[in-house]
Amino acid sequence: MFKKQPRGLIAAALANMGERFGFYTMMAILSLFLLSKFGLDETKASLIYSIFYFSIYGFAFLGGIIADRTNNFKGTIFVGLIMMSVGYILLSIPTPTPVPEGKMFVFLGLTCLGLFIIAFGNGLFKGNLQALVGQMYDNKEYSHMRDSGFSIFYMFINVGAIFAPFFAVGVRNWWINLKGFEYNPDLSSLSHSLLKGTITPEASIRMKELAASMGYTGEMTSFANDYLSAFATGFHYAFAVAIFAMIISMAIFLANKNRFPNPSFSNTDNKSGSETVEMDIVEIKQRMYALFAVFGVVIFFWFSFHQNGLTLTYFANDYTRLSGINLNIGFTNIQGAELFQSINPFFVVLLTPILLGFFGWLRAKGMEPSTPKKIAIGMGIAAMAYVLMTLGSIGLPNKAEITAMGGLPESARVTPWLLIGTYFILTVAELFISPLGISFVSKVAPPKFQGMAQGLWLCATAIGNQLLFIGAIFYTSISISGTWLIFVGACIISMLAMMSMVKWLERVAK
């Protein structure tokens, strides 16, 4: 797999893998943490989630400018790793749950501060590491391997992401069990409803049944307080897993720092054989116009794809049969809606070598689609994923109805295979878009703006992420199948727009 690839690729991929393990440990549990810790509804939690996800990628633009201006990509990346570690430390500090009256601003503010620090550190790290990888392929010896190199790099990101949800859920459930409770996807919501006085009689009966199944027969207010405290504290300790992942990532990065290229933007300092050519202003403008066109289109894809941590996770928690997904490993049990977020990275790792082989076979026959065509195809594939979700959700009650019921009984929930199939299709789409989009940016971006261009790619992702909360609004206000149709439309619009620009983008890329 690494044959004919530059020597720094595996080091960069491993450093990124450690950081991504920590990041996806947090992202696997963040949306449900906001619900259970602070008692927020889905829309408010989704707004915080969307702003955070926007900031992660938006700060990448600033991080790219800092690296370009200082010409110090490696130093910028390392500062980003340190900042993310500080942010995870803030999130891992247990605070009172339920949040005491009058203290919501303080404790929610502390969480948001931690998220802000993580987002800023990620902005310094993510785009600039991708830019370093891109610079490895400016060398003539490796330039023809750019797409496959970024696919390998992307695969390693997802190796870390596969295991992150298991660790997060395992730590959370370990603490819940230690406190004498069991995991249940509905109990934190029921507990908040009880404490707020909004619980329905039907939901109240179900809550008492769930408490009795854990051996509790006392006063329900005390049960709700104790369960929420255990549940949220377990989440806090799960965030601590990310700290150890960051330490490993920093060690790998420092140990291999000299393997990475040093940016050089002039013809007088070109010892590596890189094709860093001074471009005239007309060509620079053409290349930047092409990049902005692609950035505008992929916003719709990310708006749809990154629902995996939001509405698709809500769907897993509210509508999916979880009882059959329970791995007991002695000191804890691995069970929870968050586990579905390991499916996408698993398929990335599984499918990347297959797609690389397929594209290599097409390349040998002179039939390989251009990168812009691959991106357009990927958007069409993403639409099919939400078509599957639409069909699988027909006839399900809406969110308000299941809240009044106190949650869906297991017999009324859908098979986990619906989400597994959806994630499989979305993963294929992702492999057509994300690593190849990064590759396209590194190829088309003028040499002097490599870091900024990678930052702008992430900025487009940021805008799509900022729109994520719209999905939660639909999730709680219209039918579930109608919600998924919104994303079908967004992906189809993206595909058609990309197809209309393919020939122009191919000319610019040459």
Residue 338: pLDDT band by 50, 70, 90 thresholds?
very high
Please give the share of the chain, as a percent, with pLDDT higher than 70. Answer: 95
Length of the chain: 510
Task: Let me know if 404 is exposed, middle or buried by CB neighbors in 10 A (0-12, 13-18, 19+).
Answer: middle
Q: Residue 33 and residue 108: Cα distance in Å, rounded?
A: 11
Nearest to 74 by CA among 8, 154, 168, 156: 8
**How far from 213 is each of 182, 184, 209, 230, 334, CA to CA, in Å?**
9, 11, 6, 17, 19
Q: Residue 215 and residue 234: Cα distance in Å, rounded?
A: 20
**How far from 30 is each of 142, 311, 473, CA to CA, in Å?**
39, 13, 18
Return the beta strands (E) in 317-382 as ranges.
327-328, 333-334
Check whether the bond before 98 is cis (ω within 30° of 0): yes
Check whether the bond before 165 is cis (ω within 30° of 0): no
> Once rounded to an integer, what is the mean pLDDT over residues 130-157?
79
Q: Which residue has the higher pLDDT, 368 or 316?
A: 316
Q: What is the 3-state secondary structure (H, E, C) of 428-448?
A: HHHHHHHHHHHHHHHHHCCHH
Q: Residue 164 and residue 173: Cα distance in Å, rounded?
A: 14
Question: Which pLDDT score is estimated for 150?
Answer: 77
- pLDDT tens string 262-277: 765 444 344 444 444 5
> Once rounded to an integer, what is the mean pLDDT over residues 212-233?
94
Please tell me the least confidently modeled range out of 119-123, 278-282, 313-317, 394-398: 278-282
Residue 280: pLDDT band by 50, 70, 90 thresholds?
confident
Question: Which pLDDT score is estimated for 60?
Answer: 81
**In the predicted model, is pLDDT for residue 63 greater than 90?**
no
Question: Which pLDDT score is estimated for 160?
Answer: 83
For the ranges 118-127, 351-360, 392-401, the maximum mean pLDDT occurs at 392-401
Nearest 5°: the CA angle 330, 335, 336 is 155
Question: Which pLDDT score is estimated for 242?
Answer: 92
- Say if CB 430 and CB 362 are below 8 A apart: no
- pLDDT tens string 403-457: 999 999 999 999 999 999 999 999 999 888 877 787 788 788 887 787 678 778 8
Please tell me the least confidently modeled range out of 309-318, 364-373, 436-445, 483-492: 436-445
Question: Which pLDDT score is estimated for 272?
Answer: 43
**In the predicted model, is pLDDT for residue 364 greater than 70?**
yes
Residue 510: pLDDT band by 50, 70, 90 thresholds?
confident
- Say if CB 472 and CB 314 are below 8 A apart: yes
- Say if CB 67 and CB 458 are below 8 A apart: no
> Once rounded to an integer, what is the mean pLDDT over residues 131-152?
79
3-state secondary structure of 320: strand
Question: Which pLDDT score is estimated for 281?
Answer: 83
Please, what is the average pLDDT of the chain? 89
3-state secondary structure of 280: coil
Q: Residue 366 and residue 387: Cα distance in Å, rounded?
A: 33
Look up residue 503 and give its two tokens.
């020939």
306, amino acid identity: H
- pLDDT tens string 178-215: 999 999 999 999 999 999 999 999 999 999 999 999 99
Q: Residue 450 and residue 149: Cα distance in Å, rounded?
A: 17
Question: Which pLDDT score is estimated for 265?
Answer: 46
All domains of the chain in start order, with CATH = 9-256+279-509 (1.20.1250.20)
**How far from 168 is each of 164, 244, 342, 384, 412, CA to CA, in Å?**
6, 13, 11, 30, 27
**How far from 287 is each of 243, 393, 408, 441, 449, CA to CA, in Å?**
39, 43, 52, 9, 11
Residue 140: pLDDT band by 50, 70, 90 thresholds?
confident
Q: How far apart are the first and last CA of the chain?
A: 26
Nearest to 78 by CA among 121, 107, 109: 121
> Once rounded to an integer, what is the mean pLDDT over residues 300-304?
91
3-state secondary structure of 22: helix
- pLDDT tens string 66-113: 888 888 889 999 999 999 999 999 999 999 999 998 999 999 999 999
- pLDDT tens string 443-486: 888 877 876 787 788 778 889 999 999 999 999 999 999 999 99
Question: Which pLDDT score is estimated for 282?
Answer: 82
- Say if CB 335 and CB 327 are below 8 A apart: yes
**In the predicted model, is pLDDT for residue 51 greater than 50?**
yes
Q: Residue 284 and residue 348: Cα distance in Å, rounded?
A: 34
Residue 1: pLDDT band by 50, 70, 90 thresholds?
low
> Once rounded to an integer, what is the mean pLDDT over residues 13-19?
88
**What element of type H or E holds 502?**
helix 480-509
